[in-house]
Structure 1
C-alpha cells in the first residue's frame, strides 16, 4: 500500500452567498489567496491573460492565488464564494505549475458543501466592500485569522474538509501538472521551512548546507531533485512571492519590502522582481491598483 500524506492545509478568509449587479466590475485583481465560486443564478465573466470564462449557473470556478484576473457582471449574478489561503509542508502551492482560471460542471454535493460552509462560518462575508482594493489589507486578514482561531475544533475540521472537497473538484491532470508525489528528506523539508520564515536573512547555499550537515554541492542537487529548483532560485522565487503579497496587501514602501525580503539593496530587489515577474515593482503595483471599479 502506498501511504499518502496530506501536505496542504487551508486558512479561511471569507465565504458567503451574494447577489451582485453591474457594480461588480474589477480589473487587474491579483490576490495572495485562492477563490472558488459556485454560480446559482445569472451570469458574469472572469478572465486572465490567457482565457475568458463565462460565469454561468451550475458551474464551479477557481482563481488560484497570484493569478491576475478581471471580474465583471453586466446585470445580475448570484454566487456562493469562498476565499482562503493555502499552506503546504514544502512551501509549494498545489497550483504552482498552473496558475490559471478553471471551470467544472457543478454537482449537487457542491451546493450542499457551500451551504454548509456558510452555515458553520457565519459573519464571514465581505462586509466593508466587494472591491478587492478595500478588503485586501493586512488588518482585515488578521481579523479573519482571529475568527479561525476562535472556531471550535469540530467546525475547524469540518471547514478544512469542505475546502478540500471543493478544491478536489479541480484535481484534474490539466490543473495539477505535477510530478509524482515523493517523500521529501527531512533535511530538505527542514531547509524549506527555515527559508519560509527567514527570507529577511542573507541566505546562501553554503549556510543552508551547513545547517543540514551536507556538502554544498550535494545539498544543492538534492534540493533541486525534490523542489525542482536550485536553492538560490527557490529563495528568490519565495522572496518575490512575499514581496508581491506585501505590495498587494499593504502600503509598505519598496525599500522596506526589499529589506523584509532579504535583498541587499533596492536595486537588487527591483532587478530580481522584474526578472521573475516581467514587471518592475512600481509597474506591478500600478497594474494591480490603478484600475479600480469600472
Structure 2
C-alpha cells in the first residue's frame, strides 16, 4: 500500500519548563510529540489526566483539546508538525486522544538526530501558545522546510515516519487496519478538499464519478464509515477551527470561506461537531491568547 500521509516539520527543540507552563483549552491544528527526560507534568481534558513522566513518549494529534500543566519542573524534547495527505484523511481520525508509549533507545536517537539536522527550529518566542500559534509563523517555519537540502528533507521525513509508526500499533492506535480506498472515493475527497469553500452536493460528486447517487453514497460510506454529507461538513468545520484559531476574521467571513452561506446554519453545525459555538470556540482561543 502506498504511503498516503506525510508530515511537515514546524518546530523541534529541547526545553526545560517550570510552573509557567500552565495552559488550558489548547486546541492546535498541528501535532505535538514529546519525549520527557526529566521532571513531571500533566496533559488533561474533561475525560482523563495523563501524568507526564521521564522515559515516555506522548503524542497529541491535531485538534485534540487538552490542558498542559507543570507544577515544578519538566524537561522535554518536543516536535511540532503538520499532517498532510492528498485525500485529507488523518491517520488519527479515530484516535483524537493523547497517547503514551515507553521510549526506546531508537526513539531517543531519533529525537537527537532530528534536532541536530534542524538547528534553529525552536519556538524562540515563548513556551506560551498565545505567542507562537499564528498563521504567519506557521508559514515562516514552512518556508524553512523549502530551504532544506533534499537529503535533510528526506531524513527529517524518515525520522517523523519512524516516530509516528510507534503509535500506529495496538494498544495505542484504535484502528490499525487502513483499507485501500476506491479511486472514485479518493477523487471525491480530493475534490472536496480543493473546493471546501464552494457549494458541494452528493449528486455533484456522484456525477464526477459517473455513478448514481445511491451507489456512490454507499461505497463512500463503506470506505470512510460516514456519509459524503457528514464528511463534507466535518472538513468544513475543521477548516473553520483553523481559521478561528489563527486569524481575526469575522464569523460571517469564516462561514463563507468554509462553504456556508448561512451564518446560523454554520453555527449550528459547528456546535454539533465540536460541542461549542463558534463564539465559544473563539473565546477559548482568546483566553489562550491565540489571536
Q: TM-score range by the shorter chain?
A: over 0.9
Task: Tell me how far 1:138 sits from its aligned partner.
Answer: 0.6
1:207-222 pair list within 5 angstroms:
207-222=204-219
Please state if 1:150 is matched with 2:147. Answer: yes
Task: Provide structure 1 residue ranges, at least 5 long, that are not aligned to the other structure.
Answer: none
Could you tell me which residue of structure 2 aligns to residue 46 of structure 1? 43
Alpha-carbon contact 1:39-1:57 (below 8 Å) kept: yes
2:80 partner SS: strand
> Is 1:233 the counterpart of 2:226 in the alignment?
no
Could you list the runs of 5+ residues in structure 2 that have no partner in the other structure?
A: none
For residue 291 of structure 1, report the CA deviation from its aligned partner.
4.9
CA distance in 2 between partners of 1:221 and 1:152 (Å):
45
Residue pair 1:48, 1:101 contacting (<8 A) in 2 also = no
Cross-structure match for 1:160 = 157
| 1:168 Cα deviation after fit | 1.5
Cross-structure match for 1:132: 129
SS state of the match for residue 25, structure 2? strand
Aligned match for 1:251, one of 248, 251, 263:
248
CA contact (8 A) 2:129 2:289 kept: no
Q: 1:124-179 CA distances to partner (integer Å, 9 max, x unpaired)?
A: 10011211122111100100110111111111111111111111122232333227
Match of 1:289 in 2: 286
Q: SS of the counterpart of 1:115? A: helix
From 115, 124, 129, the equivalent of 1:118 is: 115
Match of 2:262 in 1: 265
> Is this contact kept in 1: 2:168–2:176, CA < 8 A?
no
**What secondary structure, in the 3-state scheme, does the structure 1 residue paired with 2:245 have?**
helix
Is this contact kept in 2: 1:18–1:80, CA < 8 A?
yes
Local SS of the residue matching 1:62: strand
Equivalences, count: 290
Q: Distance in 1 between matches of 2:100 and 2:202?
A: 41
Provide the C-alpha distance between the structure 2 equivalents of 1:212 and 1:158, rounded to a whole number of angstroms: 38
Paired residue secondary structure (2:156): helix
The runs of at least 4 consecutive aligned structure 1 residues that moved more than 4 Å come to none
Secondary structure in structure 1 of the residue aligned to 2:33: strand
2:93 is the alignment partner of 1:60: no
Tell me, in whole angstroms, the C-alpha distance in 1 between the residues paired with 2:76 and 2:160.
16
Alignment of 1:58-97 (within 5 A): 58-97=55-94
CA contact (8 A) 2:32 2:60 kept: yes
Give, in whole Å, the separation in 2 of the partners of 1:224 and 1:149.
Answer: 37
**Residues 48, 100 of structure 1: 8 Å contact kept:** no
